[in-house]
Chains A and B, each alone.
Chain A
Amino acid sequence: MIYGLYDDDGTLTKAAKNFVSNGLKIKDVYAPFPIHGIEKVIGIKWTQISIAAFIYCMIGCTLATIGMRYFMIVDWPMNIGGKPNFSYIQNFPSFVPITFEFSVLCAAHGMVITYLIRNWTLPFVKARNPHPSTTDDHFCMEINPVQNKASEDEIKSMLKDSGAVEIFEK
C-alpha cells in the first residue's frame, strides 16, 4: 500500500477528485474527523445502519407487546384500580410508555452493537490506521498499486505534486 499524508482536508479532497478523474482508484482515507463528501469522491457507499436500527426498534416493540400481553392479560391478570385486565387493547394506554421505552432500548443498543461489529471497533482490537497523526491533525490517503494501472513511482509523484507532506509504504 502507498500512503500520502496531507495536513489539510481541503487539499486532500482536491487531490482525491483530481486522482479519480485521472482514473486512479483510492482505497481509503483516514481522518481525525469526518470529511464531508469524500465518500462520493472515492466511491464508498453510504451506510444502511439506520435501516438496521428500525428493524431493532420493531423487534423491541413486538417483544414488549408480546411480553406485556402475556404477563398482564394471559398469565396473571390483576385488578389494579379497576383497569381492564382481560383485554390488551382496552388496557393499552397503560402499556404505551414501556412499549416506547423498550423499542428505543432495542433500537439504540442493537444499532450500536451492529456499528461496533461492522466497524470492527471492539475491546482489545488493534488499531489499523497507517499513521498515528491521522487521529490528530493529518489526513491519509491509501492507494493500492495492484488496483491501479499507474506504477508505484507514478502514484508517488502524483501524491507529491498534489501537496502530500509525507509519502510512505506499508
Chain B
Amino acid sequence: MHKEADIRIPLILGDKTYHDITEDVCAPVEGKANKLWYMAFTFAAIVALWGVCCIIYTIGRGIGVWGLNNTVGWAWDITNFVWWVGIGHAGTLISAVLLLFRQRWRMAINRSAEAMTIFAVMMAAVFPGIHMGRIWVGYWVFPLPNAFGSLWVNFNSPLLWDVFAISTYFSVGLVFWYVGLLPDFATIRDRAVKPVYKTVYGILSFGWTGDVKAWIRFEEVSLVLAGIATPLVFSVHSIVSMDFATSVIPGWHTTIFPPYFVAGAIFSGFAMVQTLMLTLRKVVGLESYIHVKHVEYMNIIIIITGSVVGVAYITELFISWYSGVEYEGYAFMNRATGPYWWAYAIMMSCNVLSPQIFWFKSLRTNLTFTFFMSIIVNIGMWFERFVIIVTSLHRDYMPSSWEMFHPTFVDVGIYIGTIGIFFVLFLLYARTFPVLALNELKSILKIAGEAQKERNRDTNASTPSNDK
C-alpha cells in the first residue's frame, strides 16, 4: 500500500467505510429526487426547448436569421463553439493528466468532469453543424467518395483538422469515461432491489465481475488511455486555435495562439468544473468527498492558467506594436479602444485581474467566493472568444466594409439554449450515474481517509522506533 504523509489534508473526510462510500454515491441514483432537482430540471428544460426552437428556426429559414453580415461572417456561433470546446478541456485534463501525475484528489471530481466534457463537446458540435446551413449533408465533412466524382475534403485545412480532432476527442473521452463507469454500474446492479434497475444497470455494466485479470486490464487501459489522451487534449485546442491562426486576418495570424488557447481552455474548463461541483456536492450531499482542499487545488490551477492567459494577452499587444505591421497594430488598438472596448475591458478584468485574487488563501478556500469567481471566469472566457473573433473581423481592410455585429434573438436563443441542454443532460446524469468514481475512491480510503489517517498515525506513534 502507498503511504501518504500525515501533514497532507485527508481527501475523504469522516470515518467512512467502503460500504459508506457505496451508500453515499448510490443514494441519488436509488433515492427520489428532491424539489430543488425538479425545479432546476424544469427551468433547464424550458431554456433548452427555447434553444431547440431557435435551432429548428435556423435550419428552416437559413443562417440569414443570425446577425452575421458580409464583413462579420463568423461571430456568435464560433464564439460559442470555442467556448464550449474550451470548457470540455478540464474533464480530460483532470482524468488523464492528473492520473499520469498520480494526483489522488482528482478521484472525487474526475467522473463528473468527464461527463461535463462529453456534454460540452456535444454542445460545441451543434454550432459548426448548424452553421453549415444544410445540416442534412453534414456528413460531407468526412472523406467519403461522393456522387460527383472523387473530390475529397481538404486535408490542408485546419477546419478539417478540427473535424478529426473534435470527433477523436469526443469518442476517446466517451470510451475513457465509460470504461471507468463499468465497475460502478456493476455496484449499482448488485445492490439493486427493483427489477428494472437490475436489468438496466445489468446491461450498462456489461457483466463486469471484478476479477484480478479484469482489474489488471482496467488499470493498464486507464493508464494507456490517459497517456494518449494527454497529447490529445493539447492537440484539440491547438487545432481549434489554428482555425484562426493559419488565416491572414490581423489579430488572428499569431503563432502564440495554440499554447494561449490551451491555457485558456483549461482555465475556463476548471471554472465550469467548480460551478458544477460546488452545486453537486451540496445538492447530492457529497461534502465529505469534495471539500475545501479539492476546491483549493482547482483554484491554484485557475491562478496558473489565468496568469498564462494574461501573459499571452500582453505578449500579443506587445508584438502587434513591435512587429511594425500597421494592420496588426491597428487590430489590437481597435480591440482595446474601438467600439468593442467594453468587451475587451470585460475580458481583461474577468480573465487577467480577477483570478489573481486567488493568491489570498482565505479567498481561494472560500466556497461561496469560488462559486462567484467561477461564473466570472466563464463570462470572461466567453468575451475572450468574442473579442478575438468579432473585433478582428468587423473593421475590414477597406473602411467602406466596416460593420458592427448585432446578435439577433436567434443567436442569443441558441447560445442560451445550449446552456439549457447542457444542464438538462448534467442533471439527468446526476440522477442516473454514479457521480463519483466509486472504485477509485475506495482504493484511496486507507491512504487518504481522515479516520484511517488518524488510526495510522496512532499506530505509528505507539510502535517503538528501531532507529538507533
Task: Report the minimal beta-carbon distance from A83 to chain B, rounded to whole angstroms.
Answer: 5
Q: How far is the CA of A123 from the CA of B202 in the complex (A)?
A: 8
On chain B, the number of residues with a Cβ less than 8 Å from chain A's Cβ atoms is 68
Inter-subunit contact A126/B207 (CB<8 Å): yes
Inter-subunit contact B224/A123 (CB<8 Å): no
Q: Mark each residue of chain B from 207 to 229: 1 if its CB lies under 8 Å from any CB of chain A, else 0.
A: 11111111111111101110011
Inter-subunit contact B1/A121 (CB<8 Å): no
On chain A, the number of residues with a Cβ less than 8 Å from chain B's Cβ atoms is 65
Inter-subunit contact B175/A136 (CB<8 Å): no
Q: Is B206 an interface residue (CB 8 A)?
A: yes
The residue among B205, B209, B228, B235 with the most chain A CB atoms within 10 A of its own CB is: B209
Q: Is B168 an interface residue (CB 8 A)?
A: yes
Inter-subunit contact A32/B206 (CB<8 Å): no
* Complex contacts, A146 vs chain B, CB 8 Å: none
Q: Is B354 an interface residue (CB 8 A)?
A: no
* Complex contacts, B19 vs chain A, CB 8 Å: 136-137
Q: How far is the CA of A57 from the CA of B438 in the complex (A)?
A: 30
Task: Report the minimal beta-carbon distance from A95 to chain B, rounded to whole angstroms.
Answer: 6
The tally of CB-CB contacts under 8 A between chains A and B is: 202
Q: Is A15 an interface residue (CB 8 A)?
A: no
Q: How far is the CA of A129 from the CA of B155 in the complex (A)?
A: 49
Task: Report the minimal beta-carbon distance from A50 to chain B, rounded to whole angstroms.
Answer: 5
Beyond A136-B19, A136-B187, is A125–B228 a contact (Cβ under 8 Å)?
no
Q: How far is the CA of A80 from the CA of B154 in the complex (A)?
A: 9
Q: How far is the CA of A105 from the CA of B231 in the complex (A)?
A: 12
Q: How far is the CA of A52 from the CA of B11 in the complex (A)?
A: 35
Beyond A34-B218, A121-B182, is A104–B168 a contact (Cβ under 8 Å)?
yes
A–B Cβ pairs within 8 angstroms, 23 of them:
A28-B213, A33-B443, A39-B213, A49-B221, A50-B224, A97-B161, A97-B164, A105-B168, A108-B171, A108-B175, A109-B172, A111-B221, A115-B179, A119-B208, A121-B208, A122-B206, A123-B206, A126-B207, A127-B189, A127-B205, A132-B191, A135-B208, A137-B442
